Each structure stands twice: as structure tokens, then as C-alpha cells.
Structure 1
Amino acid sequence: MRNIKLTIEYDGSRYQGWSRLGKGESTNTISNKILEVIRRMTDEDVELFCGARTEVGVHAYGQVANFRTNTQMKDYEIQHYLNRYLPMDIAVVSVEDVPERFHAQLNARSKVYIYRATISDVPSVFDFKYTFHCFRRPDMDAMRQAARLLTGRHDFRNFSTVKHNKSTEREIYRIDIYDDGEEMQITLHADDFLHNMQRSIVGTLLDIGFGTRRPEDITAVFDGAQAASAPCDPKGMYLQEVRYE
């Protein structure tokens, strides 16, 4: 049996995340759309594993997934078939055979998310669907000061909406805040993220940038003395990369 690795990009605007089970179960998910086409292509009841379960409205530049199949189709034939029948807002960037032991979720070592926000005076009519617009320029020095308090290994329970998890400790390797005068990008690289953790962190950083919170509030959130800010608008959030080394 072959093990097929997919690298996928998608516009998450109209989907209920990568997958949605339990109380809010939905078939309108990225994974379900891909599975429907794979099952039609292989005539097999396959299971699809992913590197990161992106949330409702979040996009991806480099999602990774894998499935096992007996199909004899060549890699390029699989890619062409998937891209022919998938919705136009989901694209398979690459297809490759990988060793049997590769598992997109279990083998992931770290994940990188990027948040895009426009800081120009006038919001772009072409980018507004995929970037958050700041109607005033945030204090990025204050945001960077707060970002330094977030890096390292911490218990991020208070920066997430997780309900049941064995451990809520995660390690953030770095948070970069960059701007070119028109767009600000916040890049978060961590070993893993709890549910809504990256959006809650960005929402809190933005509030600090807008002056409604202070950098030292990060410590207060960790301690439980304050709540994190509301999660940021998902339209500016992208899964940039899942790393396996």
C-alpha cells in the first residue's frame, strides 16, 4: 500500500475549518471536500491525516496531509485529478510518495502561522477579503515587547478555547512583527498550537498595539489574573508551513 503526501493551499473563507466534529459537526470542511474526490478517484474508503487542523475561516499556503491507497496512478496523475475536481479555492500544490511510517500529524515538529494586516490609510478593495485592516497604525514596539514575553515554553491554556487536552504547555520559538509601510505581518513559529491559540495571541497583540492593553498584560493572562483578548479576525490568518525536521 502506498502512502501519499499532499501539500495543499486553500482559501478557508467559506469552510468550517479543516474538519469539524462533535457539537458543530459539518461536512462543509476542507478535509471533506478533498476526501470526496480521493474516494471517487481511488474507489477506496481512505482516511486523511493533516499537519494542522486549521480553524473556521483560516487559510493555508502550505497544509500537509497524507493518505494510504492501492491506486497505481502516477503522482502527477493524482495531482491533476484532484485539481480538476476540487473546488477552485482548494489546490494541491504537490503530490509525492513517502515512506509508510510518515504521518502528517504525528510526525509534525513545528508549525508556522502568519497574520496579515494592512496599515495603509485606505484599505485595499482587492485585499480586504484576505487581510485585516488596521484603521490606525499600531505601536509595533509595544507589540514586540509583548511578543518577547510570549516566546519560550509556557502553559497557553488561557490563550486558547481548548476544553479537553492532556497538556496545554506549548513552546513558541519566535514571533516576528514586520511591516513595509502598507502591510504588517505577524509570524508565529511554535512546536504546536492549541485550539484558537494563534488567533487569541494575535488578538491580544493587536490590542496592545492599539493601546487598549499593556505589554505586561501577557504575564497577567498567563497567571489567570486577566483574560486574553478576543481572537483576531480569521480572514488574515494563514498556515504558512508545517515542518517535519
Structure 2
Amino acid sequence: MHNIKLTLEYDGSRYQGWQRLGKGESTNTISNKLLEVIHKMTAEDVELFCGARTEVGVHARGQVVSFKTTSDMKPYEIQHYLNRYLPMDIVVLSAEEVPQRFHAALNARSITYVYHIATGTVPSVFGRKYTYYAFKTPDISVIQQAALSLAGKHDFKSFSTAKKNKSTEKELYDITICGDSEEIQITLKANDFLHNMARMIIGTLLEIGLGKRKKECIEAIFAGNDVSSAPCKPRGLFLQKIEY
């Protein structure tokens, strides 16, 4: 039995996220497309594990996946086969055999997301799937001040739509906001993310930066005295990196 680790890049625009189960279940997901080609390659029904379950419309530059197979194909052969038969908007950047104990989901130490906000005077036709266009430029300094309250270990249940029976305490290691006259980038690095957590944090920071909310609302949201803003649009969000 071989344990295979894949690093993927994908355009999430036309997919229902990494996986969609239960209500609204769909086969049009990144994981399903990958499983179909792996089955074609190995004639096995493997179990896939991913480092982060990206949501509907979210992209990835560094998704990590692991699965076990009895196939004796070399990692470079697996990579070549998958890239030949996967849709063009899903690419295997690398494939390698790893120790049996490696698990893409359980062994992740940190996950990084980057959100791209276009702030130019005219929206780009070609950037529309990969950036969120803000018709008014958010105040970066105000967002940076508000972000200070988010860093560290907190109960992020108010910044998530996660089921309440799941632990909602996470640690946000780093949050950076930088940009110029054309684009602002918000980068979040944490030990893990709850469902919609990254998008709800960014949505709240955007409203603060646009003057729709005060930066003090962050503390009120954590205390349960206020609610977070609606999730930001998924098209500007990228799963950037997963560290092990």
C-alpha cells in the first residue's frame, strides 16, 4: 500500500467547493473530479483527505491531498496521468510518496488564505473571477487596526456557520493587509478554519474599511453582543498554502 500526497492548484469558479454533502449534495466538486480520474487510473475507490475544504467558488494555489493505493505507479506517472485527464481548471503541481502515517487533514499545522480586492478606477474583465472589485477603496489603515483584535486564540463561532457541536476555538497566527492603488490583499494564517470563517472575517473587515461599521464591533462580535457581516464574495479568495 502506497500513501500518495498531491499538491493541487484549481480554479473553483464552476465547482460546488471541495466537497458538498447532505443538503444540496452535488457531484460537481473538486474532490469528485479527482476521485473519478484516480478510479480510472487505479480501478480503486480510494478515500481522499484534504488539508482544507474550500467552499463554493473558492480557488486554491496550494491544496494538499492524500490517498492510499495499491497501484505501483511512480509519483511522476500519477501526476502525469492526472493532469492528462483532469479538467483544465484542476492541476496537480506535484505528487510524492509519503510515510504511511501522513494524513493531509490531520497533520496540517497551518492554513493560509489570501483575499484579493481590486481597487482600480475600472474593473478588469479578465480579473473578475479572481478578485473582488470594490467600487469604493477601503481604508487599509482602519482595517489594519481592526485586525489587531482578531489575531490570537479566540472562539470564532460568531465568525462561522459551523455546526455548534464542533470546537469553535481557533488560533489566528497572523493577519496582514497590504496593497496599492490597484489591489488590496488580506492574508489570514491560522491553525484551522471553521466553515465560512475566512470569508466572514474578511467580510467584516471590508465593511469596517468602507466605513459601514466601527472597528470596535470585533470585540462586540466575540462577546456575542453583535453579529459578523455577511461572508465576502468567494471569487477573490485563494487557499494559498498548507504547512505540515
- Same structural fold, with TM-score higher than 0.5 when normalized by the shorter chain: yes
Residue 129 of structure 1: how far off its partner (Å): 1.5
Q: How does 1:73-222 map to 2 (within 5 A)?
A: 73-222=73-222
Residue 224 of structure 1: how far off its partner (Å): 1.2
Residue aligned with 1:201, SS: helix
Q: CA RMSD in A?
A: 0.7
1:25 aligns to what? 25
Residue 167 of structure 1: how far off its partner (Å): 1.2
Residue 73 of structure 1: how far off its partner (Å): 1.1
Relative to structure 2, which stretch is displaced further, 129-138 or 98-107?
A: 129-138
Residue 166 of structure 1: how far off its partner (Å): 3.0
Counterpart Cα distance in 1 of 2:79 and 2:220: 48
Counterpart Cα distance in 2 of 1:165 and 1:28: 28
Counterpart Cα distance in 1 of 2:243 and 2:193: 13
Counterpart Cα distance in 2 of 1:165 and 1:172: 21
Counterpart Cα distance in 2 of 1:49 and 1:132: 29
2:71 corresponds to 1:71: yes
Residue aligned with 2:202, SS: helix
Counterpart Cα distance in 1 of 2:58 and 2:32: 16
Q: How does 1:29-48 map to 2 (within 5 A)?
A: 29-48=29-48
Q: Deviations over 1:51-88 (max 9, x none)?
A: 00000110000000001011111111111110111000
Residue aligned with 1:127, SS: coil
Counterpart Cα distance in 1 of 2:165 and 2:95: 32
Residue 180 of structure 1: how far off its partner (Å): 2.6
Q: What TM-score results when the alignment is normalised by the length of structure 1?
A: 0.98
Amino acid at match of 1:86: L
Residue aligned with 1:154, SS: strand
Q: Deviations over 1:112-139 (max 9, x none)?
A: 0000011111111211111001111111
Counterpart Cα distance in 2 of 1:176 and 1:211: 19
Counterpart Cα distance in 2 of 1:59 and 1:166: 25
Amino acid at match of 1:65: V
Residue aligned with 1:22, SS: coil
Amino acid at match of 1:151: A
Identity over aligned pairs, percent: 66
Counterpart Cα distance in 2 of 1:27 and 1:214: 41
Gaps of 5+ in 2: none
Residue 163 of structure 1: how far off its partner (Å): 1.8
Residue aligned with 2:73, SS: coil
Counterpart Cα distance in 2 of 1:58 and 1:2: 30
Counterpart Cα distance in 1 of 2:86 and 2:15: 13
Residue 164 of structure 1: how far off its partner (Å): 3.4
Residue 165 of structure 1: how far off its partner (Å): 3.4
Residue 181 of structure 1: how far off its partner (Å): 2.0
Amino acid at match of 1:197: M
Amino acid at match of 1:81: Y
Amino acid at match of 1:219: E
2:15 corresponds to 1:15: yes
Amino acid at match of 1:20: R
Runs of 4+ in 1 over 2 A off after TM superposition: none
